[in-house]
Chains A and B, each alone.
Chain A
Amino acid sequence: MDGGLAHGRAREAGRAPPALLRDEAELTAGVVIEPGRSYGFLTDTTLCIGCKACEVACKEWNNLPAETGKLTGHSYDNTGQLGANTWRHVTFKENGPREGTMAPFQSNWLMMSDVCKHCDPAPCLEACPTGALFRTEFDTVVVQQDICNGCGYCVPACPFGVVELSKDDGKAHKCTLCYDRLKGGLEPACAKSCPTDSIQFGVVEELQERADRRVEALHAQGQDKAYVYGAPGSPGATGGIRKLNAIFVLAERPEHYNLPPAPSRPARNAKPAFLSGLATMAGLAAVALLLGVGRR
């Protein structure tokens, strides 16, 4: 089905793997991972069942500590938000009582697996003074833990509130798009585990096309509110951010999923801010000069 499930999974399932699967992503996501291409996620919320397999798979693979939290009372969301130890987070929003026939696919109880957007260009990376944040050979954005000094500039720079300093080691942490797995030809853990393929991994341009086809199909089936978030020229790719490498198919306004409707890149403000600062300085200097002259 266009833009839908089982991209590649069933296709070559007959191939028997050796003990360690080479290019496993080819089996699980239909894509061979090669340096030099852009990789990312398409998170299709209309297929999401809110099971949080992505959260668990991420924590188990990346060895992230779990919080020992309390019930939040916010629907089934007990992990709250993305942070230093939570790199996938499923947002839940209940949309009032309902019965009877509904829009096809996910409706009336929104569930969305949020993740770092691996922006292009990436505001966090632009704010990083040490080179800890860098763009990998897979066009993903990664915090290098052996470089990061915990300055925290990246934290306010992120328009999505993704990056956080860890209380344990003081350094910035966020989704690496499973950098280590990509180097070994493996699909990122969250996408591999996703039971309904709500999270799909692949080459960004192909994911953008797949998302467009999926939105068309949804429109044809009566879910006319569906749209792509994060592709060039669409909501999410705004304010100097050309595109997100983690894009989404949404069926309600971005705010419903706790996503900014028009994120922007702080670095875009740097030049005007610097210039206006210069102008202010110049103005003040001029005033001071005039005052000094007047006194004399």
Chain B
Amino acid sequence: MSKAPRGRPIRRGLADRAAGFLADWSVPRQLRGAPEKTEAAESAASRGLRPRLETADRVGTSICPYCAVGCAQLVYAKQGRPIAVEGDPRSPVNQGTLCPKGAATFGLMASPQRLDRCLHRAPGAREWREVGLDWAMDRIAELAKRTRDETFINHLPDGTRVNHTLGIASMGGATLDNEENYLIKKLFSGALGMVFVENQARVCHNNSVPGLGATYGRGASTMPQWDLANSDAVLVMGSNMAENHPIAFRFVMQAKLRGATVMHVDPRFTRTSALADIHAPIRAGTDIAFLGGIIRHLLENDLWFRDYALPYTNLSTIVGPDYKGPEELHGYFSGWNDEGRRYNVESWQYDGVVVPSSLAEGYVEIEGFAEATQRLHEGPTPKDPTLQHPRCVYQILKRHYARYTPEMVESVTGCPRDLFPKVADALARASGREKTAAICYAVGWNHHTKGAQIIRAAGIIQALLGNTGRPGGGILALRGHTSIQGSTDIATLYDLLPGYMPQPHAFRPHATLADYLKAETNPTGWWHHFPKYYVSLLKAWYGEAATPENGMGHDLMARVTGDHSQLPLTVAMERGVIRGLFVMGQNPVVGGSNSKLVQRGLARLEWMVVRDVAETDTATFWRDGHLVRDGEMRPEDIGTEVFLMPASLSGEKAGSFTNIHRLVQWHDKVVDGPGDSRSELWFIHHLARRMKALHAGSTRPQDAAIRAITWDYPEDEQGEPDPEAVLREINGRTVANGKLVPGFAALKDDGSTACGCWIYSGVFPEEGRNRTRSRVPDGAQGPGTHLDWGFAWPDNRRTLYNRASADPAGVPWSEGKRLAWWDEQAGEWRSHDRVDFPTDKRPDFEPDWESKPAGMDAIRGDQPFFMIPDGVAGLFVPSGLKDGPLPEHYEPTETPVRNALHPGVEGNPAAKRWAYDANPLAAPADPRWPHALTTFRLTEHHSGGTPTRIVPSTSELQPEGFVEIPTELARTLGIASTDWVVLSTPRGEIETRALVTDRLRAFTLDGGRVVHQIGMPWHYGWSGIATGDIANVLTAVVGDPNTGMHENKALVCALRPGRLARPLQEVG
């Protein structure tokens, strides 16, 4: 009644109520003959019921903030608050579906644990205090300036230019928009001279870049996820796809329903295995033994696709006479230097021809190497199409893998010898002219000290079988953060500039622009265009300050001086080199290897800024961390000044994400984030403005880059910079008239164009046309390449190397697998896709070697892998990799057994090790650590855990940390499910609950040795609703030689029932 309008007679209200009651009362309806169980029983609430989506006053398109599948969502909002988040049914990526994490997006946006105010922890304080946004920003800018002033150097003592500071580091980027990554890299590397700039891509999928790049030319997935529906066989290995990428697995199930064979090779029997036709168990860390066995099986039984592999790979190329393989050199390739623990690649070169790498990281430290590559202008690489030459790649491959017999595979991997040929045969049966097979992998192949080579092995198999570049064929690198592909492309990584160009290096011939371009420009292949892309980037960053006098701004660029990736970053923190740290959307206390080392590092910092959606384990290390728990330090002893700033999610900010298959998709801002939460774009923009203001009057050379950096992004009334303005800068413009360039073909090396990331060029080809916003899928009759749904780099191409879907003459291998073909009448290539080849290059084009052709002029019309200087897929890789031209089985750095192939060379000899007292390593086959341990993820949680452990609906599904223990081992140790157990490695001990299961097993290896495989999910920490001890306390700081990727998929541990001893709590 209180809501009745004033002055209205009460009697009238009563009459209304009576009438309403009569209308609601079911008896009159029953008397009128309505069925008592249906209409007559309908209540008033039922009658008025409508879905709450209809109350929305705003609907926006968004992209899921969790993994990199890139599911499209619709965010419904009412009066500025979200009311629901649903899958977008139009999207070809997810077709309206969402996995448990994606379905929890509304719960994430509305989580009771969302942070809405800035928190500050003074040095030594035991509690947070709330602070204002402006105060925090001013204080952070002041600290950044102070630390930079104290640590920045322009030159080394010997005069070498470095322009950098080692005193400030940054982590995070993979959960952020492309535009945010771009501004982070631009401000931190381009203006402040920070070199410790890293994101999750380093510890997630970095091995994919050299693994796929060295083989095919680009370090990214070759096929779209939806194309898996066209596969005739799918091998999932190094991935638990059904759990970690359920929506990508949707297309595997579609293929399965069409008759495809699904295979899962994994140490554990997972939810993926349950849906597979074949599950082949292998001991963690033995993937190359298994894949090498497949390569041998294909070669020995002549099961490979000769018509494809002979012209499109380097199988027939002849290698120089000095090359020797590990079969001859007891586990080493030729060129091993025991003192420096690294390889010299000279002996891996082709006969008389030196070939540079297509990889940004592929610089070869041999004097005269760059000059020697000029020989590529003079003629084709030496070949023997008959494959008889003993030094042709085919013969080398055969010799190398001859050792990988079924017996060897069984004794190393533990997989029964009759099982792995079934996988090889199923792949071979599903390959050839009429059929194609796909391989899907994830971090299970990355997190090893030989991860790049595992991925290479898959590349070799797919090239031999003729699957790459064809419908339903190829390799999918399943990635785990929503824009982790974007944060690799527009790299917030220490060694890469946007578009896979190397950050200049102080100890390489990069001193002047001319030196750098000479060293990094390949004589042949697409990368001959390198100078256009680099100079355009300099122009985008330094604008008018990029002049010929300062090498178009090259002289302002920060130089790296070594490995500044996440693992050495951790060590540098712990040793006090790094004083200030930015952490944006990353949780290294949970996700970083050797978590206690990470926490010791954080405790030595002077200041740390954490930006996230909730209180993370990293942000609270000083209060709840292991140092405090284990009694090593009290909060009062920890001098780190900590800022915790609330961040926005997709739906609360606009920008683009790049998914697993390079698809760039825009997400709208639909609502404001809670309270003081802001985008990283806002944070970086306003930090940049403050830094510019603080240095405006400076004439010091160390501040030149800050003054020079271009920074004029328009802001809206809330101070949010326009993300489309950033995307336009990424796309590129003509400097003179400011006009957007239509694509990377328009870029120039004379400073007349500016472009932030050349591979994305074309994403915003004209004003008003942001192609990442495009949302038009192909209909039922369409080709299914969905060219108008988002934008895929490069040039909107969906399947990379799709020239290879046609035979050398340009005719599709079969009608059923038609994708690209040469149209003789039109004189150009045609495709349902964008052709990944010069559209007018005839299939029979031959370089005119008389004219010493450069760049693409030296690439034949039947060479689809044109990013590589000789145009063919590199089965044998002469340069660019640091641990061998071919994948070879090495045990993990910490292994329960000796290497059966070459005892004495157990692990990858070139692996990076940081063995010291804070990071001890177990010796091979040390009986104190008898079990094989692997870490893994659950479908119910997301990586570092924050975005699901704070959501009630996902937390309850996996509420506590646990370790999976095989039944036999549990029985021996007297452990039952939910019992407490203690896991230990040389780095530390943790306690967690046991989950005893037959899905894990013991492996019987060489000599009858039995090794039990244990597995532990690594999402947990102390923050949030679902909690548990941190698995990464157990893991080590060891790295892949190519990337510095850690090895958390295969290590050793001890296990015992019970709990950890606790130090007595302080009394009083």
Q: Report which A residues bind B (CB closer than 8 A).
A: 1, 4-6, 9-17, 19-21, 24, 27-28, 47, 49-53, 55-57, 59-61, 65-76, 78-79, 94, 96-102, 104-109, 111, 125, 131-137, 142, 144-147, 178-181, 183-184, 186, 189, 192-197
Contacts and interface: CB of A to CB of B under 8 A. Distances in A.
A60 B74 CA distance: 14
A173 B998 CA distance: 36
Interface string B829-868: 0000000000000000000000000000000000000000
Contact of A71 (B26, B43, B50, B978): B978
A195 B99 CA distance: 6
B246 A107 contact: no
A53 B96 contact: no
Given A71-B995, A73-B995, A106 B104 contact: no
A183 B47 CA distance: 10
A194 B272 CA distance: 16
Interface stretch (B230-238, B427-435, B490-498, B778-786): B778-786
Contact of B103 (A132, A144, A193): A193
Given A9-B95, A19-B59, A104-B277, A51 B939 contact: yes
B630 interface: no
B957 interface: yes
Contacts of B780: 10-14
B957 A55 contact: yes
B934 interface: no
A192 B276 contact: no
25 contacts: A5-B257, A6-B254, A9-B95, A13-B90, A16-B775, A17-B90, A49-B243, A49-B249, A49-B272, A51-B940, A52-B939, A52-B940, A53-B98, A55-B953, A56-B100, A59-B952, A68-B1025, A73-B994, A101-B278, A131-B36, A131-B43, A134-B42, A135-B38, A178-B51, A195-B99
A180 B52 CA distance: 8
B104, B247, B274, B978, most chain A CB atoms within 10 A: B274
A56 B777 contact: no
A73 B962 CA distance: 9
Nearest to B262: A104
Given A100-B280, A109-B274, A196-B250, A71 B959 contact: yes
A197 B42 CA distance: 32
B735 interface: no
A49 B274 contact: yes
A106 B275 CA distance: 4
Contacts of B778: 13-14
B51 A183 contact: yes
B97 A61 contact: no
Interface string B219-258: 0000000000000000000000011001101100110111
Contacts of A4: 257
A186 B53 contact: yes
Contacts of A6: 95, 254
Given A9-B96, A98-B269, 19 more contacts: A10-B95, A10-B780, A13-B92, A14-B782, A56-B100, A60-B103, A60-B953, A61-B84, A66-B953, A69-B959, A71-B978, A79-B957, A94-B999, A97-B998, A100-B419, A146-B44, A146-B45, A186-B51, A192-B96
A109 B92 contact: no
A133 B42 CA distance: 9
A169 to B, nearest CB: 14
Contacts of A97: 269, 967, 998-999, 1001
B953 to A, nearest CB: 4
A76 B249 contact: no
Contacts of B997: 75, 94
B956 A184 contact: no
B1046 to A, nearest CB: 27
A53 B69 CA distance: 15
A69 B953 CA distance: 11
Interface string B74-111: 10000000001111011010011111111110110000
B279 A100 contact: yes
A125 B51 CA distance: 24
Interface string B277-304: 1111100000000000000000000000
A96 B967 CA distance: 10
Given A125-B37, A195-B247, A53 B99 contact: yes
Given A17-B90, A183-B49, A56 B103 contact: yes
B777 A13 contact: yes
A89 B36 CA distance: 31
B254 A66 contact: no
Contacts of B92: 10, 13
A101 B98 CA distance: 30
Contacts of B96: 9, 27-28, 192
Contacts of A72: 978
B416 interface: yes
Closest 5 CB pairs of A and B: A14-B779, A73-B977, A134-B41, A66-B952, A184-B51
A97 B1000 CA distance: 8
Nearest to A105: B275
A49 B281 CA distance: 19
Contact of B246 (A76, A111, A196): A196
Nearest to B780: A11
A99 B419 contact: yes
A96 B85 CA distance: 39
A105 B257 CA distance: 9
B953 A76 contact: no
Contact of A52 (B50, B254, B957): B957
A179 B52 CA distance: 12
B90 A99 contact: no
A50 B98 contact: no
Contacts of A186: 51, 53
Contacts of B770: none
Nearest to A13: B777
Contacts of B782: 14
Given A60-B953, A67-B956, A98-B279, A107 B95 contact: no
Contacts of A179: 46, 49
B767 interface: no
B122 interface: no
A27 B89 contact: yes
B189 interface: no
B271 interface: yes
A20 B49 contact: no
Contacts of A16: 90, 775-776
A90 B526 CA distance: 51
B422 interface: yes
Interface in B984-1010: 993-999, 1001
Contacts of B89: 9, 13, 17, 21, 24, 27-28
Contacts of B103: 53, 56-57, 60, 189, 193
Contact of A96 (B953, B978, B998, B1025): B998
A146 B956 contact: no
B954 interface: yes
Contact of A184 (B50, B274, B1025): B50
Given A6-B254, A52-B940, A179-B49, A60 B104 contact: yes
A55 B940 CA distance: 11
| Residue picked from B59, B103, B998, most chain A C-beta under 10 Å | B103
B670 to A, nearest CB: 11
| Most chain B Cβ neighbours within 10 Å, of A61, A104, A196 | A196
A68 B278 CA distance: 37
Contacts of B624: none
B116 interface: no
B759 to A, nearest CB: 28
B307 interface: no
Contacts of B199: none
B419 A146 contact: no
A108 B269 contact: yes
Most buried by A among B51, B778, B962: B51
B273 interface: yes
Contacts of A106: 274-275
